[in-house]
Amino acid sequence: MNSIQVETPLKKYTIHFEASFEPLREQILKLRKNYSKIAIISDDHVAPLYTSEVKNTLEGLNIEVLSFDFAHGEVNKNYKSINLIYDFLITHQFDRQSLLIALGGGVVGDMVGFTAATYMRGIDFIQVPTSLLAQVDSSIGGKTGIDFNGYKNIVGAFHQPEMVFINTKTLRTLPVQEFASGMGEVIKHSLIKDEAYMSFLESRVDDIKSLNHEAITALIKTSCLIKSDIVSKDEKEQGLRATLNFGHTIGHAIERLMDFERLHGECVALGMMAASYISYILGDLTQQDLDRISSLMGLYDLPIGIADLSPEAIYKELFFDKKTKHHQLSFVLLKRIGTCYMDNNIEEKLIMEGIKAILN
Yes or no: say if 125 and 151 are a contact pair by the CB < 8 Å rule.
no
**What pLDDT sits at residue 323?**
63
Yes or no: say if 21 and 170 are a contact pair by the CB < 8 Å rule.
no
So where are the chain's domains? 3-173, 176-356
**What pLDDT sits at residue 1?**
60
Domain 3-173, CATH:
3.40.50.1970
Instruction: State how far Cα 356 lies from the chain centre.
Output: 26
Rounded Cα distance between 233 and 138, Å, is 17
Residue 227 is a catalytic residue? yes
**What pLDDT sits at residue 208?**
97
Residue 33 is a catalytic residue? no
Low-confidence ranges of the chain (pLDDT < 70): 1, 322-327
Write down the catalytic residue from 45, 77, 193, 252. 252
Rounded Cα distance between 247 and 334, Å, is 11
Residue 185 is a catalytic residue? yes
Answer whether 0.85 is exceeded by the pTM: yes
Residue 252 is a catalytic residue? yes
**What pLDDT sits at residue 324?**
64
Domain 176-356, CATH:
1.20.1090.10
Write down the catalytic residue from 162, 185, 235, 255. 185
Which DSSP helix (H) or strand (E) runs through 28?
helix 24-30
Residue 245 is a catalytic residue? yes
